[in-house]
Structure 1
Amino acid sequence: MSETSEDEQAQLQTSDEELSADEEPKKAQMPGKRMRKTTATIKKLKMSLMTMRPRPMRIKLNGDKALTWKDLGLNETLCKACDELMWKAPSKIQKEAIPIAIQGKDVIGLVETGSGKTGAFALPILHALLENPQRYFALVLTPTRELAFQIGEQFEALEVSNKYQTVDQLQQYYLFIPVKYKDVYLVHILNELAGNSFMIFSSTCNNTVKTALMLRALGLAAIPLHGQMSQNKRLAALNKFKAKNRSILISTDVASRGLDIPHVDVVVNFDIPTHSKDYIHRVGRTARAGRSGQAITMVSQYDIELYQRIEHLLGKQLPLYKCEEDEVMALQERVAEAQRTAKLELNDLEDSKGYKGGKGGGTKRSAAGGDHDDSEQFTGARKRMKPMGKGGNNNYKNKGGRWSYLLYPFRRDVESTTNQKRHDPTGTTVI
Structure 2
Amino acid sequence: MSIRIPTEVQTACIPPLLSGRDCIGNAKTGSGKTIAFALPILQKLSADPYGIYALVLTPTRELAFQIAEQFAVLGAALNVQTAVVVGGMDMMAQALELENRPHVVIATPGRIVDHLRSSSGQWNLSRVTFLVLDEADRLLTPTFAPELSYLFDVLPKDRQTCLFTATWTSSIDAVADAPPKPGKQKPFIHRMKEMVETVSTLKQHYILVPSHVREAYLFHILCNPPESTLHLRRAPPEPMKNNKKTQHNSRTKKQRKTDDEIEQPPPTIIFCAKPRTAAYLTSLLKTLSIRSTALHSRLTQRERLSSLSLFKASVIPVLISTDVGARGLDIEDVAMVINWDLPQEPEEYTHRVGRTARAGKGGLAVSFVTERDEEKILEIENRINMKLDEMELSEEKVLEKLNTVSTAKRLANMELHDAMFGKRERIHQIKKANLTLSGFAEGSEI
More strand as a share of residues: 2
Choose which of 401, 405, 408 in structure 2 pairs with 1:338: 408
- Residues 13-50 of structure 1 show CA distances to partners (whole Å, capped at 9, x for unaligned) of xxxxxxxxxxxxxxxxxxxxxxxxxxxxxxxxxxxxxx
Deviation at 1:315, TM superposition (A): 1.5
Structure 2 residue aligned with 1:417: none
Structure 1 unmatched runs, 5+:
1-72, 79-97, 109-119, 355-363, 370-431
* 1-structure distance, mates of 2:12, 2:190: 20
Structure 2 residue aligned with 1:131: 31
Moved more, 253-262 or 151-160: 151-160
Structure 2 residue aligned with 1:291: 361
> Match for 2:271: what amino acid?
F
Deviation at 1:102, TM superposition (A): 2.9
Deviation at 1:105, TM superposition (A): 7.3
Choose which of 185, 202, 208 in structure 2 pairs with 1:176: 208
Structure 2 unmatched runs, 5+:
35-56, 59-66, 68-129, 133-155, 160-171, 179-186, 226-263, 429-446
- Residues 97-122 of structure 1 show CA distances to partners (whole Å, capped at 9, x for unaligned) of x96963697315xxxxxxxxxxx753
Structure 2 residue aligned with 1:218: 288
User: Is residue 122 of structure 1 aligned with residue 47 of structure 2?
Assistant: no
* 2-structure distance, mates of 1:237, 1:261: 13
Choose which of 11, 19, 28 in structure 2 pairs with 1:107: 19
SS state of the match for residue 131, structure 2?
A: coil
SS state of the match for residue 330, structure 1?
A: helix
SS state of the match for residue 424, structure 2?
A: coil
SS state of the match for residue 237, structure 1?
A: helix
User: Is residue 200 of structure 1 aligned with residue 270 of structure 2?
Assistant: yes
Deviation at 1:168, TM superposition (A): 1.1
Deviation at 1:74, TM superposition (A): 9.0
| TM-score, normalised relative to structure 2 | 0.50
* 1-structure distance, mates of 2:286, 2:374: 30
Structure 2 residue aligned with 1:415: none
* 2-structure distance, mates of 1:227, 1:249: 14
1:150 and 1:268, CA in 2 relative to 1: closer, same or farther beyond 3 A?
A: closer
1:100 and 1:365, CA in 2 relative to 1: closer, same or farther beyond 3 A?
A: closer
| TM-score, normalised relative to structure 1 | 0.51
Deviation at 1:130, TM superposition (A): 6.4
Deviation at 1:184, TM superposition (A): 0.8
> Match for 1:182: what amino acid?
R
5 Å-filtered alignment, 1:215-254, equals: 215-254=285-324
> Match for 1:240: what amino acid?
L
* 1-structure distance, mates of 2:301, 2:405: 32
Deviation at 1:156, TM superposition (A): 12
- Residues 329-372 of structure 1 show CA distances to partners (whole Å, capped at 9, x for unaligned) of 1121110011111122222222xx88xxxxxxxxx424998xxx
1:100 and 1:202, CA in 2 relative to 1: closer, same or farther beyond 3 A?
A: closer
User: Is residue 261 of structure 1 aligned with residue 261 of structure 2?
Assistant: no
1:204 and 1:127, CA in 2 relative to 1: closer, same or farther beyond 3 A?
A: closer
SS state of the match for residue 303, structure 2?
A: helix
5 Å-filtered alignment, 1:39-188, equals: 102=14, 106-108=18-20, 122=23, 125-126=25-26, 131-133=31-33, 136=58, 139=131, 151-153=175-177, 165-188=197-220
Number of aligned positions between the proteins: 251
